[in-house]
Structure 1
Amino acid sequence: MKKLLLSLALVSLASGAFAADTIKVGASPVPHADILKVVQPALKEKGIDLKIIEFSDYVQPNLALSDKDLDANFFQHLPYLEAFSKDHRLNLVSAGSVHIEPMGVYSNKVKNLKELKKGAKIGIPNDPTNGGRALQVLNANGVLRMKDGVGVNGTPLDIVDNPLKVKIVEVEAATLPRALEDLDAAVINSNFALGANLNPSKDAIAIEPKDSPYANVIAVRKGDENKQEIKALLSALRSPEVKNFIEQKYNGAVVPAF
């Protein structure tokens, strides 16, 4: 009996030794969850079981991360992470960048920004930094002019010249594609555009330059950026396999940042 118990104990220990570590990562469905799925097999080989939890908004993933319901998240650029963390008093940081999603201007009513009429309604994201970023896209394309120096922190109140007297409509980022029917144009994040079957390289009537500084990052709680499983995740996401996947899958709508 003692030998049997000892054998069972050894089997139990052996099984535990080979048990995979689980890491839960929150992500927007497109392209973030799709990219994470590419690295699941490689992480599995290293003993890391990657669980992907999809979110459709820009608020819950950071709150869930702070509450330790997630080990990391992958959906946002660094300026948004920093602004959200400051506003909500969260201790979240970037573990590293992965890709850039140039914002695009879309319309069901005009084929060129020069076709916009006076009083046109243009939708932009209503969340911190993305709204200011969208306004800078309109600024760069001559639709309006923003106050010098406001950058990503600009708001509609910082518009100093608006020759067409366009009306800026602030809308939740995820719903902008659906709001296109009620707008003359909208500035939409590429992940939500792709999720709505809009191809930034074909359907956008204007697009942010590819040298955009808004790289999407892996966010973690401060102090967790040096955990081995987080380092392994970031290393896998910066692999040649992922770079090739991004370039072939998204054709310029998503650009590797490594």
Structure 2
Amino acid sequence: MKNRKIWLTIAAFLSVLFLATGCANQKKDTTKPEKKHTIVMGVTGGQYNDLFDKAVAPILEKEGYKIKRVNFSQFMLSNTALGEGNIDVNVAQHTAYMRIFNRDKKTDLVPLVATPSVPCSLYSSKYYHKSDLKNGMTIGIPQDPSNAARAYALLADAGWIKVNKNVKSTELAAKDVTENPHQLVIKEMDSNTIPHVLADLDFEVIPGSVVQSAKIEKKIHLIQQEKLTKDLEIVAAVRKENENKDWAKAIKRAYQSKEFKDYMKKHNEDHQWVMPK
């Protein structure tokens, strides 16, 4: 009987010790950092993706992340894939565009971090100054809602048209033009089409990314640059459920790092890039 009590006491002690050790290990496991992640990025070409590859990806790779790139022929396809969870991030849209996309496609994309942006501007391949404008001239502008709004705001800022003051500049559309004193023919078309029809236009409003992708800088003259607002800054976009993941925070840190800012100082001699406010 005495020996049985001794063995029961030892067994109870070992049980307590086992439970304590198990709890400690369990607590330790829950504090482990998130496992390193392969970041799947949607790519549609252009300088925003190029900037990511040259200045951001190296920072992430130093931290142990791998970047897998998935190419899309159109940015909307990239955004659709992001909304469906098939990719983790893309870098080529501004918040105003994202807001409209979320509304129309019922997605929950959010801006992770603002990145350097290239403004949308008023150009001409035929003329050099605003004063060259004549009645009845043709102006090509983007047709997607967010960039069309930018174009109407830019034309209003140039004094060529007047728009409804009760409508936000990021939501302007053709119906909001209240005065067109020069009887301008404003043609909405796909942004990527504009560089190919310069001969048919007198002036054109083109996003900076399209100008660079089409390599038409030497064919056009800058007439007026848009005033870049917070809503029009290019952002790295993710789904809302991912914005606090370690890999997402790493992307944000990379864009805000001293290393990235130093890179921009060395590679922005012509002040093409506008830094986030």
> Normalising to structure 2: TM-score of the pair?
0.79
Cα separation, 2, equivalents of 1:169 and 1:254: 27
Cα separation, 2, equivalents of 1:246 and 1:178: 30
- Cα separation, partners in 2 of 1:76 and 1:140, compared to 1, 3 Å: same
Taking the TM superposition and a 5 Å limit, the aligned residue runs for 1:132-143 are 132-143=149-160
Identify the match of residue 127 of structure 1 among 131, 144, 162. 144
Identify the match of residue 160 of structure 1 among 156, 160, 178. 178
SS at match of 2:267: helix
- Cα separation, partners in 2 of 1:231 and 1:199, compared to 1, 3 Å: farther
Q: C-alpha offsets along residues 108-136 of structure 1, whole Å, 9 cap, x if unaligned?
A: 11111221221111111111211011110
Cα separation, 2, equivalents of 1:179 and 1:248: 34
2:272 aligned with 1:253, yes or no?
Answer: yes
- Cα separation, partners in 2 of 1:255 and 1:198, compared to 1, 3 Å: farther
Cα separation, 1, equivalents of 2:196 and 2:228: 25
How big is the shift at 1:20? 5.8
Cα separation, 2, equivalents of 1:246 and 1:57: 27
2:119 aligned with 1:102, yes or no?
Answer: yes
2:210 aligned with 1:185, yes or no?
Answer: no
How big is the shift at 1:213? 4.1
How big is the shift at 1:238? 2.0
Identify the match of residue 85 of structure 1 among 87, 93, 102. 102
> Normalising to structure 1: TM-score of the pair?
0.85
- Cα separation, partners in 2 of 1:149 and 1:155, compared to 1, 3 Å: same
Cα separation, 2, equivalents of 1:221 and 1:183: 39
Name the residue aligned to 2:24.
Answer: none
Name the residue aligned to 2:41.
Answer: 25
Check the 8 A contact 2:125/2:221 in 1, yes or no: no
Cα separation, 2, equivalents of 1:220 and 1:157: 32
Taking the TM superposition and a 5 Å limit, the aligned residue runs for 1:26-41 are 26-37=42-53, 38-41=55-58
Name the residue aligned to 2:128.
Answer: 111
Cα separation, 1, equivalents of 2:227 and 2:275: 14
- Cα separation, partners in 2 of 1:63 and 1:206, compared to 1, 3 Å: same
SS at match of 1:75: strand
Cα separation, 1, equivalents of 2:249 and 2:139: 41
Cα separation, 2, equivalents of 1:187 and 1:240: 34
- Cα separation, partners in 2 of 1:212 and 1:162, compared to 1, 3 Å: farther
Unaligned 5+ runs, structure 2: 1-34
2:233 aligned with 1:215, yes or no?
Answer: yes
Q: What is the identity, as a one-letter code, of the residue corresponding to 2:158? A: N
Q: What is the identity, as a one-letter code, of the residue corresponding to 1:182? A: D
How big is the shift at 1:54? 4.3
How big is the shift at 1:56? 5.0
Cα separation, 2, equivalents of 1:33 and 1:75: 7
Check the 8 A contact 1:104/1:188 in 2, yes or no: yes
Q: What is the identity, as a one-letter code, of the residue corresponding to 2:125? A: N
**TM-align CA RMSD:** 2.1
How big is the shift at 1:209? 2.5
How big is the shift at 1:52? 3.3
Name the residue aligned to 2:259.
Answer: 241
Q: C-alpha offsets along residues 31-87 of structure 1, whole Å, 9 cap, x if unaligned?
A: 211111122222112110122334453311110111222101110000100111101
Check the 8 A contact 1:143/1:162 in 2, yes or no: yes
Name the residue aligned to 1:3.
Answer: none
Cα separation, 1, equivalents of 2:87 and 2:198: 33
- Cα separation, partners in 2 of 1:31 and 1:243, compared to 1, 3 Å: farther
- Cα separation, partners in 2 of 1:109 and 1:246, compared to 1, 3 Å: same
2:62 aligned with 1:50, yes or no?
Answer: no
Cα separation, 1, equivalents of 2:115 and 2:44: 14
